[in-house]
């Protein structure tokens, strides 16, 4: 990536546009990494035959290869002949892969290999290298176990831009977090504040004082709860919202710990509290969250939907987007994190071979597909490929931008319902 230095850190003199581009690239790589973590996390070795190798930047590839060859020698001590062979073969795959490198990538690299076959006696040694790391690998590691070592990678996909959210009125309050594109409710609180209407013949002045005391007590409860829940997070900012004026008391008073209060970005009016109120608060705070990924995503999806409504230079749907990519007309590919299609190669006994794209659920529900040539049943002749990866690779080769759209926001959910794949075009086609 052009906007990082040799160590993988962002350059200090980046423009805002360059910083945004770098952040988008990180989001895309994070998604790929999440997919890899999920895939590898499901794998289990029959014995301690899954190998994990972490190599930080700057380490000599030649030295690492030498160390892995030593481990091959050490593996001769494994009692089980099958396990010994599987470990040796896994190490050999890693060694042969490393020979392609003169030096480590800027952030280092990780490699996983091992026997992932579910059939005992029929080993299937697979290699899973990964180099598009969003953060530098800090620790050199070699480990052989029944599972792959994934903790260092999991730490990389934790969202770093975290905002605290509080929505409240005199009756209730909700405390939450905006992490990346996800809104999470941490705690809901109910108050004992009486209504504004005087009851039972009490004087208005005395009733108002009692109500004010109850509000103050509720604000203290909100502050204490927020301090307990939020101080454990590294916050980029705090936003307070809700209907009515009580929220201003929380913002201006001494209820919140100064480490949280000092992060206050603003106070917004909302029509609701609760979980819906937290979402409304984020929607009304785009000016405060201008650099956040959720604000970017909302702007991108809104731009696409507006252009679609006006019959502008956009298209959506898998066949339409593939046609646009083939024509070289795509400026920006939009693809949902919930897009779950596969590309499969099928062959028929008549000799016909076809490549088909379909939803993963459809393919797995009925692996046999009809042959277009003879009408017979076709069977997959190799592992299915994630179609998302194929579309992204084609878009990047033609110089198009790629935007990953989450399923965490209302706009992201709406986009997924449209099929989960679309394109903003350089020019109108068809």
CATH code, domain carrying 385 = 3.30.1330.30
| Same domain, residue pair 275 and 348 | no
Neighbouring residues of 326: CB distance < 8 A, sequence distance ≥ 6 = none
Burial 381-400 (b: 16+ CB within 10 A, else e): eeebebbbebbbebbeeeeb
51 vs 63: CA distance, rounded Å:
18
The yes-or-no verdict on residue 240 having pLDDT over 50 is yes
Asked whether the beta carbons of 222 and 191 are under 8 A apart, the reply is no
Give me the mean pLDDT over the 128-152 stretch: 91
| Same domain, residue pair 303 and 284 | no
pLDDT at 2: 39
* Dihedral angle computed from the Cα positions of residues 137, 397, 414 and 268, in that order, rounded to the nearest 10 degrees: 60
309 vs 293: CA distance, rounded Å:
24
Is 3 a member of any domain? no
Give me the mean pLDDT over the 277-297 stretch: 87
Min mean pLDDT across 21-35, 124-138, 165-179 is at 21-35
Neighbouring residues of 9: CB distance < 8 A, sequence distance ≥ 6 = 136
| Same domain, residue pair 222 and 249 | yes
Is 32 a member of any domain? no
Give me the mean pLDDT over the 153-168 stretch: 87
Q: What percent of the chain is predicted at pLDDT more than 70?
A: 90
Neighbouring residues of 333: CB distance < 8 A, sequence distance ≥ 6 = 321, 325, 391, 392, 395, 400, 401, 402, 403, 421, 422, 423
| Same domain, residue pair 255 and 312 | no
235 vs 260: CA distance, rounded Å:
8
Tens-digit pLDDT profile for residues 408-424:
788 888 899 999 999 99
* Domain end position, chosen among 156, 188, 217: 156
247 vs 15: CA distance, rounded Å:
36
* Domain end position, chosen among 130, 156, 182: 156
Give me the mean pLDDT over the 220-238 stretch: 95
Give the up-direction half-sphere exposure of residue 353: CA atoms within 13 A in the CB hemisphere: 3
Give me the mean pLDDT over the 142-154 stretch: 93
Is 328 a member of any domain? yes
Neighbouring residues of 69: CB distance < 8 A, sequence distance ≥ 6 = 91, 95
Is 181 a member of any domain? yes
pLDDT band at residue 51, thresholds of 50, 70 and 90? Answer: very high
Is 361 a member of any domain? yes
| Same domain, residue pair 256 and 353 | no
CATH code, domain carrying 89 = 3.30.960.10
| Same domain, residue pair 238 and 304 | no
pLDDT at 9: 44
pLDDT at 209: 86
Residue 83: domain span = 40-156
Tens-digit pLDDT profile for residues 176-206:
999 888 899 999 999 988 777 666 667 777 8
Q: What percent of the chain is predicted at pLDDT more than 90?
A: 53
Give the residue, 226 or 27, on which the prediction is more confident.
Answer: 226
pLDDT at 8: 41
3 state SS of 381: coil
Q: Classify burial at 339, counting beta carbons within 10 Å of its beta carbon; exposed 0-12, middle 13-18, buried 19 or more.
A: buried
The yes-or-no verdict on residue 17 having pLDDT over 70 is no
pLDDT at 19: 53
Contacts made by residues 67-70, CB under 8 angstroms, sequence distance 24+: 67/142, 68/94, 68/95, 68/98, 68/142, 69/95
The yes-or-no verdict on residue 309 having pLDDT over 70 is yes
- How many other CB atoms are there within 10 angstroms of residue 350's CB atom? 12
Neighbouring residues of 283: CB distance < 8 A, sequence distance ≥ 6 = 298
Min mean pLDDT across 220-229, 309-318, 383-392 is at 383-392
| Same domain, residue pair 419 and 374 | yes
Interstrand relation of 172-179 and 421-425 (parallel, antiparallel or unpaired):
unpaired
Asked whether the beta carbons of 153 and 33 are under 8 A apart, the reply is yes
Is 23 a member of any domain? no
- Output the average pLDDT for the chain: 87
For the chain, the domain total comes to 3
| Number of H-type helices and E-type strands within the chain | 13, 18
* Domain end position, chosen among 128, 156, 184: 156
Q: What angle do CA 206, 207, 210 make, to 5 degrees?
A: 90
| Same domain, residue pair 192 and 135 | no
pLDDT at 127: 95
| Same domain, residue pair 302 and 402 | yes
| Same domain, residue pair 167 and 287 | yes
Give me the mean pLDDT over the 335-357 stretch: 86
Is 340 a member of any domain? yes
| Same domain, residue pair 126 and 148 | yes
| Same domain, residue pair 215 and 315 | no
Asked whether the beta carbons of 228 and 154 are under 8 A apart, the reply is no
Tens-digit pLDDT profile for residues 355-371:
888 888 777 666 567 78
The radius of gyration of the chain from alpha carbons, rounded to an integer in Å, stands at: 27
Give the residue, 234 or 248, on which the prediction is more confident.
Answer: 248
The yes-or-no verdict on residue 207 having pLDDT over 80 is no
Is 61 a member of any domain? yes
CATH code, domain carrying 278 = 3.30.420.60
The conformation of residue 171, written as its DSSP 8-state character, comes to S
Q: Which of 46, 53, 56 is nearest to 112 (CA)?
A: 53
Give me the mean pLDDT over the 144-172 stretch: 90
pLDDT at 10: 47
């Amino acid at each position: 990536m052009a906007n990082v230095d040799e160590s993988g850190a962002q350059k200090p003199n980046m423009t805002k546009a360059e910083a945004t581009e770098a952040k988008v690239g990180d989001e895309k790589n994070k998604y790929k990494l999440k997919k890899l973590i999920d895939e590898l996390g499901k794998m289990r070795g029959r014995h301690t035959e899954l190998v994990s190798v972490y190599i930080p930047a700057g380490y000599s590839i030649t030295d690492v290869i030498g160390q892995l060859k030593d481990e091959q020698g050490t593996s001769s001590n494994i009692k089980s002949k099958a396990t010994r062979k599987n470990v040796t073969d896994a190490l050999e795959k890693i060694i042969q892969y490393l020979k392609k490198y003169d030096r480590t990538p800027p952030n280092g690299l990780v490699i996983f290999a091992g026997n992932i076959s579910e059939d005992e006696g029929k080993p299937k040694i697979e290699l899973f290298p990964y180099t598009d790391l969003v953060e530098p690998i800090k620790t050199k590691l070699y480990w052989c176990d029944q599972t792959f070592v994934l903790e260092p990678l999991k730490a990389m996909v934790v969202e770093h831009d975290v905002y605290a959210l509080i929505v409240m009125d005199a009756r209730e309050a909700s405390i939450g977090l905006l992490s990346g594109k996800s809104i999470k409710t941490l705690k809901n609180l109910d108050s004992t504040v009486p209504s504004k209407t005087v009851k039972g013949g009490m004087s208005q002045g005395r009733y108002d004082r009692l109500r004010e005391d109850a509000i103050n007590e509720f604000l203290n409860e909100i502050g204490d709860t927020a301090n307990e829940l939020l101080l454990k997070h590294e916050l980029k900012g705090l936003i307070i919202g809700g209907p009515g004026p009580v929220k201003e008391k929380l913002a201006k008073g001494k209820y919140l710990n100064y480490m949280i209060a000092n992060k206050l970005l603003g106070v917004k009016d909302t029509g609701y509290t609760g979980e819906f109120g937290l979402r409304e608060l984020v929607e009304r705070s785009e000016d405060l969250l201008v650099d956040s990924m959720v604000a970017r995503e909302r702007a991108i999806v809104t731009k696409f939907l507006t252009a679609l409504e006006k019959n502008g230079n956009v298209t959506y749907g898998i066949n339409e987007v593939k046609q646009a990519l083939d024509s070289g007309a795509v400026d920006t590919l939009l693809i949902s994190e919930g897009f779950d299609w596969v590309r499969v190669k099928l062959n028929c006994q008549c000799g016909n071979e076809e490549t088909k794209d379909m939803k993963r659920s459809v393919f797995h529900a009925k692996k046999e597909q009809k042959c277009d040539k003879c009408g017979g049943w076709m069977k997959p002749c190799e592992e299915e490929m994630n179609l998302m990866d194929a579309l992204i690779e084609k878009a990047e080769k033609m110089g198009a931008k790629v935007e990953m759209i989450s399923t965490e926001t209302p706009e992201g959910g709406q986009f997924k319902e449209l099929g989960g794949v679309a394109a903003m075009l350089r020019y109108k086609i068809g």
